[in-house]
Amino acid sequence: MWTKHGYRWQLIKRCAAVMAAVTAPIIIIIMITAGGTQAAYAEEAAHAALSPTVAGAAARAAELFAAGKYQELWEMGAPVLQAAITVAQLQAIGDRLGAVQAVGRPQAVPGYPQTAIVVLTYPAFKVDLTLTVDEEGKLIGLFVRPHEEQLQPGCSAASSSADGADAEESWEAPPYVVAGTFAERTTTFGTPGWELEGTFTYPTDRAEYPAVVLVHGSGPNDRDETLGPNRIFRDLAWGLASRGIAVFRYDKRTYVHGGKMTPADVTPYSEVIDDARAAIAWVKRQPGVSRVYLVGHSLGAQLAPAIAEGLPPGTLAGLVLLAVPARPLEELVVYQVQYLAQIDGTVTDDEKQAIAQLEMAVQALTAGQLPADADFLGAPVHYWVKLRELSPVPIARRLELPLLLVQGGRDYQVPPAEFEEWKKELGGRGNVDFELFPDLNHLLIPGAGPSTPQEYEKPGHVAEEVIEAIARFAGWANNG
């Protein structure tokens, strides 16, 4: 049954990405998907404006986590969640955090009726345990992060932030960064009421330089596109600036203003396109900038052609699409869930049933059988409809801009088959370049063997080959 607020797969969009973040002094990892039991918790439900099912399951999960009963907590998860995270991994998180002093009551998250936040108090800090629950009371999301007054849950390719001092101190610049060759300054830009802060990184050894604007993947990303110990956009900014290319990166609207955004507010334009165009306009006004390129990652790459098409001719010198989908995003979600289900070598009956239900849901969306304001995979149906209308391949065909597509061979979120589809569609154009790096994952970080969500917990850096490919492209595109 499709319901406005109770659709059991409403957050499976985010199931393919394990959320990881390191902050003082904690490590965070998690996963989202689907799944069967409930408990009454009427007093807290009334207090937090949550349904008894959501409040009860969230309270129970928080109590289990605080008590160190990780096996029971794991059993509250749905099949695909259980396939993606182990009891040992949950215990490792709990051990790193230490002993819980107090467990708060479940609190509602505006616009997300299936999600609750429980504040856990430790001797030296607090964390927000964000829990998403399906209509049967099974956990479909579990996310730990530093306590904030306003928090919007969400995750995809890269969506958690690490703002603590320990995380900052533990991050080290990649070896391809050349210290002393660039500087940074911050600014505020954007639509009144929705202003964002960004960082402009620019070379200091020349008076004129090309510039790129970085556009994030889905989820409430910070300007570094932080995922666990990894800072994807900082790697790109510092690496490119070391090669004479300025970079502008900024906090995403859903990261800064997520607390006041309702599902009706969220469209591809409000989430990504409008702010990306504003960022491009800001960069164009900066002294020394000779030309501007747009560099999108994942969802940012998917929407890059639409961003470019709405700009006056000559605004952009080219597009760089990192891990860009060719198919509709909801179809990729099915692939991601299938991949995660089989990664242990076995697909259980429960997992098969869950995948079949997801496939039915996607078919219903494609057939136009869901109300426009219904929740679907964590966003309103109208969001998905508009995303389909902004399909990147046909828009890219209409553009005359030079394009560079970069793909990791170990990417399971946007697999190499997407890259091959792009090559089939645009491979004959002389101003389109394709770069496939076999050992890179979705974060463009090197590794070996099949990629897993747990891989995102490990510190790494965007491969130097990616930096060099973008630098070469920015050096020749529209530059003779």
Q: What is the pLDDT of residues 123-140, one digit of tens each?
A: 888 888 888 887 778 887
Which of 331-335, 346-350, 365-369, 375-379 is the least confident region?
375-379
pLDDT interval class at 82 (50, 70, 90): low
* Inter-axis angle of helices 274-284 and 299-309, nearest 10: 70
Q: Is 298 labeled as catalytic in the residue annotation?
A: yes
The sign of the dihedral angle between the CA atoms of 307, 310, 316, 319 is: positive
Mean pLDDT for the stretch of residues 172-176: 95
Active-site option among 298, 375, 451, 461: 298
DSSP readout, 282-305?
HHHTSTTEEEEEEEEETHHHHHHH
Q: pLDDT at position 442, please?
A: 96
Stretch among 27-36, 80-89, 104-113, 273-282 having the lowest mean pLDDT: 27-36
Contact (CB, 8 A) for 28 and 89: no
Cα 370 from chain centroid (whole Å) = 25
Which pLDDT does position 392 carry in this prediction? 98
In the set 216, 257, 442, 461, the catalytic residue is 442
The stretch 398-418 carries a mean pLDDT of 97
| pLDDT higher than threshold 70 for residue 346 | yes
Predicted confidence at residue 47, as pLDDT, reads: 41
Confirm whether 95 is a catalytic residue.
Answer: no
- Alpha helix (H) residue ranges in 242-273: 253-256, 268
Contacts of 155 (CB under 8 A, 6+ apart): 14, 17, 19, 30, 32, 143, 219
Place 476 in a pLDDT band, splitting at 50, 70 and 90.
low
* Structure-token match 């039991």, residue found: 37
Question: Domain residue spans in the chain?
Answer: 12-160, 170-328+391-476
The confidence score (pLDDT) of residue 158 equals: 32
CATH number of 12-160: 3.10.450
* pTM score: 0.74
| Residue pair 250/197 in contact by the 8 Å Cβ criterion | yes
SS (H, E, C) 380-402: EHHHHHHHHHCCHHHHHHHCCCC
* Range picked from 72-86, 147-161, 240-254 for highest mean pLDDT: 240-254
Computed over every residue of the chain, the mean pLDDT equals: 82
Mean predicted confidence (pLDDT) in 17-36:
28
Q: What is the pLDDT of residue 92?
A: 77
Beta bridge partners of residue 227, listed in sequence order? 230
> Going by CATH, does the domain composed of 170-328+391-476 fall within 3.40.640.10?
no
More confident residue, 199 or 142: 199
Q: How confident is the model at residue 378 (pLDDT cuts 50, 70, 90)?
A: low
Average pLDDT, integer, range 128-156: 67
Number of other residues whose CB lies within 10 A of the CB of residue 43: 11
Q: Are 364 and 2 in contact (CB under 8 A)?
A: yes
pLDDT > 60? residue 176: yes
What is the mean pLDDT of the segment spanning 111-121? 84
Examine the pLDDT at 189 and tell me if it is beyond 90: yes
**pLDDT bracket for residue 80 (50, 70, 90):** low
At 113 the pLDDT is 79
170-198 burial, b if ≥16 CB within 10 A, otherwise e? ebeebebbeeeebeeeeeebbeeebebeb
Q: Is 411 a catalytic residue?
A: yes
Phi-psi label, residue 180: left if phi above 0, alpha if psi -120 to 50, beta otherwise: left
- Residue 160 above 60 pLDDT? no
What is the CB neighbour count within 10 angstroms for residue 267? 17
pLDDT of residue 247 exceeding 80, the answer is: yes
**Residue 335 contacts residue 427 (beta carbons within 8 Å):** no
Q: Which of 222, 375, 411, 433 is catalytic?
A: 411
